[in-house]
A and B are shown apart, each in its own frame.
Chain A
Amino acid sequence: MSRRHGGRGTRLGADLIGVVVFLVCVFPVYWMVSRSFLPRNRIKGEDPEIVPTHGTLANYRKVFDDGSFNHALVTSLSVTLLTVAVALLFAFLAAVAVSRFRFRGRTTFILTLLVIQMIPAEALFISQYKMLDGVGLLNSVVGLTLVYVASVLPFTVWTLRGFVDGVPHELEEAAMMDGCSRTGAFFRVTLPLLAPGLVATGVFGFIQAWNEFTLAVVVMTDPAKETLPVWLVAFTDSRSRGVDWGAIMASSTLITLPVIIFFLIVQRRMVAGLTAGAVKG
């Protein structure tokens, strides 16, 4: 759409609102990071320090020294990486099948994925809990990974299928003319072209599993088995110790950091894809 229309007045008004929106978006993040470097007495001062100077790393030291954070970090990393690896492999196979073959049950499979994606976790966690409880997989990395893989699979298959569709099968055929087997052509030609798609989809899976709270709080009821999000909520809730906002903000910052980094990687690709047509015009 054209940006030339509208007088100087509308532009000034739009810019003003833009700045306000920026401040509203950034303020909570700024508050989190800046408070994480303040000692307790300065957080609980009469007037908050809007722009503090001379911070301290004491809050971060406290978080790491406590031990329970590190423990939850290990659990979170195990579940997240396992989920991404399994989901990516299974989704990749399924995406190739759906994109490259016409077979019986294909439409049913696609339809099922679509419907599953609509089912809220809250509508199934009761029976998932009962099932995992029945086979002794409550409070286990394997149990949580199982339900995580199922919840990211539909989206992962869907996205990867788009990427596989994007690689013209004429390329494979050309390689086969040159003497490659069908499998050889796939691994030498198609797979390398899919690498960016696999990375993007994997990162999305990582963010989802890393952030997930609902299923984690249901499946990991034992405090020794908490993932980072569950640990953070419990830590915030531990009123008996007196709410230590500095340490809470420090751990929130630590949990946010990898997501922001990954998000920026994927986001650029996504926005580029979405607006590619507009740049040309």
Chain B
Amino acid sequence: MFTLRTSTASAPATLGLPWHACDKRIGLSLSTGRLLKTDSLNESSSASVFACSANARRAGPASSLFKFQRWPALTLLAILPWLFPLSANAAGTRASTPINNTATVNYTDGGIAHSQQSNQNILRVDELLGVTLVSNDAGNVLVLSPENSRALSFSVTNIGNGEETFQLSANTTITGDQFDPQLQKLVLDSNNNGVYDPDTDAVYIPGSNDPLLSPDQSVRIFLISNIPSGQADGAIGSATLQATAVTGSGAPGTDFPGKGDNGVDAVVGVTGASAQAPGNYQVSAATLTLVKSQTISDSSGGGQPTSGATVTYTLTLQASGSGRAYNVSINDPVPLGVSYIAGSLRLDGVALSDSADADAGQFSGNTVEVQLGQVQAPSTHTIVFQVTVN
């Protein structure tokens, strides 16, 4: 028995699968090279593996599936406030509402009943400035390194009692993480569908389209970053979004006379009229390694590749990292000088038929093909088939 190991190389461009289904591809191939100590196996035997990158998600069936699996919690979160609106007075009585108070005194004077009203005391309700900011992401947003235009999702809510405009800012140089996301822009979820739509959602321009929110109203903001290259699987890159009331912010109780709705005073509430929330990107890559080995069993019970000897090939696909590879397929042309033994194909110990059918494997055009589809790292898959030396 002998084993040949080879290093990964760039992918051959010919074989493979629906490339359109992925926007990034990992390809690797390896070659067993020429088999030594044989005069009949004089062709190289090589296998190749094709895969989409860990989390391609913008096109094709694999993407849709992934999206479905990853976002249900977020989708629910985004929908809930619309299904169950917060109580109308969560922010308190609306700013500038008059509070009218009149007392009455009744008395008897000389046996005659009288009634006298007090002055009407009128107060106006101050505008209370308050804001909350939360991340909508169910956890770390999984990304590749490098990858462009990935979104963190946040919601800004006016918890004050007046109409208020909020200015937004982002910080991506957070200490304690492993890399700095490269901030591209902030985007308003203009169509309010909870998903970053580059062609529809408006780019935020400070001072130009600062969101104006009624009491209890929320707006979803996407923080769009590029992920730098060279980041290891699992590396975290953090960013924070901040929203601050344009009327004013500062210590709770700070008063801005006349700056509130309809000229009432604006008063900073407990939030300081400014809020921020963090979001994390996490590099999640799957690295595929394919190793091919063989054992030979000749008719005399030895290991010589003589005519009639059986060669058992084992292809071991190792997915390391924490991400997923999509549309993974392994193609291994059977070398000249040997014949594939019908029905010998196994995947992880389970027999696969040779015909093109529902199972993952087939033998076609003198090539063993196994389509693994989605591979979640870390994992190992083993493909075994046998040939007879002619």
Q: Do A and B come from one complex?
A: no
B residues contacting A by CB (< 8 A) are: none
